[in-house]
Chains A and B, each alone.
Chain A
Amino acid sequence: MYTQWYFTECYREGEIEDWVTGERVTPFNTFRWYVLILNLDEEKEADLDFTFYYEDQCPAKASYKLAAGRQGVVYLGPDSANKPDVPLDKRFGMGIQSSAPIIVQCTQGDYIHGSPVTNNMVTNMFLPGPLGDRHKVWHYIDSIVLRNPSPLEEREWITLLNPNQERAQVTLTFLPGGMMQHSTAEVRMADPTEKPFEVKLEVEAERIRQVRLHEDITQVQPNHHYAVRIETDVPITAQATRRIFERGNYAFSRSMAVLDCIPTGKLET
């Protein structure tokens, strides 16, 4: 059972490019995050120390208590009664250190202004720590940026959380993939000549970093499917997020998914 947990990114949307006009636009979603915690100790109250990690500032701290054998929620929305005194108006990652064993799950929702109905909803389990060698190689295998004349647009990014006191040197490897054709039982590659490629980057100590596949990595081809390998020199956590828009309508997104990365260690033989 675990007393230390991590979550890589709670997402908050800023400006995006209108892929029809090329202008910068800002969707007007309201974001709410719920951190759900189950105290596995049925006799002891849990002391919970949260660390919030950001792209552009030092970590911030907050503390809570959770009754023995109970579920609790830390609601991080704009109208939260128990909202911590930390910045929540930009994307952030989290670490939790507990005095008792816990399990933690994060559910994120976004809402169109004024509507109580959840427009997008995602949930993920936090990742148990402490982080070790296994957390130096990560994978996710459903990566795609959809950008074509059809109404379905998909944007995607990878976020990395480096909770260490030292900078992380990261290599992203993109392995081109294909779609199974049921009629022929063959895999159809978007471009059979496309080769795996690498991208190197750094993540500052105690920071998160977002890498937009649709804007920041020029080698990523729209409408091509990839698997992504993430390798670092220090243990980190990783998460990918995909956001769906209806082409030409950027007032709000249609849906989103967190494409959780998993720590795999080295796979190749």
Chain B
Amino acid sequence: MRASEWYYAEGMIMDWYGDRRDGRLIDGHPDSADYLLLMNANRSPDAQVTVTFFYEEEDPREWHTAVPARHCVQIPLHEIDQSILQWNKHYGVRVRSDVPILAQETRGEYEPGDPATNAMTTVWLQPGPLGDESKDVSYVDGIILADPDHPLLESEWISILNPGDMEAHCDIIFYFMDLDREPAHMAVTVSPQRVKVIKLDDVGLLGKGTVQTGATVFYSVRIRSDVPIVAEEVRRAYARPNPITRSMFAAGAVPYEWED
């Protein structure tokens, strides 16, 4: 694997706590951290790296760094100037280097004032350049927990990053565990050089009716797009009614017809 371009679709530096609807500020300090790990395995030269942050509603912003040869570097993204990486906004990331590197991302979320990581997840970035395989991606573990009175509350998001210059027209297909349910489709458009975040709790075809019937919905997701995209699943668990993330995971969607 010798890639000099890497992507992930969902990051967020939060300086409020809550289930992302609360919005209260805690002294302006982030209660989440996002670390980008880069490794330059080459004996020379140093890798000159450009990191591009893509947002939902604003133009992308770039940040530059270097990774010494035969070194790995941990970059705390939450310490980058907020004029480049804005807090409390979803972002997707592209890493471009002038030599092949490896790229991994690890993030944590915290209770306010507590340095012990309360929730943590890590993903490998998806290697580029993005081709046809990135027009059809999927992940398997989707769930809508139905019981509104249960102590466990889970929320789930899909983030779709379109780093290209043309609109991405996506068909999101939900495959259900329930043998009586046929796959359901949802059409989504992602603007060029933007990320789109969908909170699946709010997707009516998945959850709203089933909450009323008290049935948990298990599903898998396939996203077909007319241009290459990068997609990522994020799930957070809460102990109702505490709005602080108790645990979380993220998983990059993989090509549906996965080829090495």
Contacts and interface: CB of A to CB of B under 8 A. Distances in A.
B27 to A, nearest CB: 19
A125 interface: yes
A214 to B, nearest CB: 16
Interface stretch (B17-25, B33-41, B160-168, B186-194): B33-41
Query: Chain B interface residue count: which class?
Result: 35 or more
A187 B150 contact: no
Interface stretch (A12-20, A115-123, A201-209): A115-123
B176 A177 contact: no
**Chain B interface main SS type:** strand
A254 B117 contact: yes
B75 A73 contact: no
A117 B152 contact: yes
A257 B246 contact: no
A124 interface: yes
Interface stretch (A49-57, A139-147, A164-172): A139-147
Nearest to A135: B260
Contact of A103 (B81, B118, B120, B140): B140
Nearest to B100: A267
Contact of A120 (B72, B81, B247): B247
Contacts of A134: 260
Interface in B232-250: 233, 235, 237-239, 246-250
A268 interface: yes
Given A187-B71, A255-B118, A182 B76 contact: yes
The 6 A-B pairs at the shortest CB distance, nearest first, are namely A177-B72, A227-B72, A105-B140, A267-B41, A121-B247, A36-B140
Interface of A: 1-2, 34, 36-38, 40, 67, 69-73, 103-105, 107, 109, 115-125, 128, 134, 139-142, 150-152, 175, 177-180, 182, 185, 187, 196, 225-227, 229, 242, 244-246, 254-260, 262-265, 267-269
Given A34-B141, A257-B120, 17 more contacts: A1-B256, A38-B175, A38-B220, A71-B175, A103-B140, A119-B247, A128-B258, A134-B260, A177-B74, A180-B73, A187-B71, A254-B117, A255-B117, A255-B118, A255-B247, A257-B122, A259-B104
Interface of B: 1-2, 35, 37-39, 41-43, 65-68, 70-76, 79-81, 100, 102-104, 106, 108, 114-124, 138-141, 150-152, 154, 175-177, 179, 183, 218-220, 233, 235, 237-239, 246-251, 254, 256-258, 260
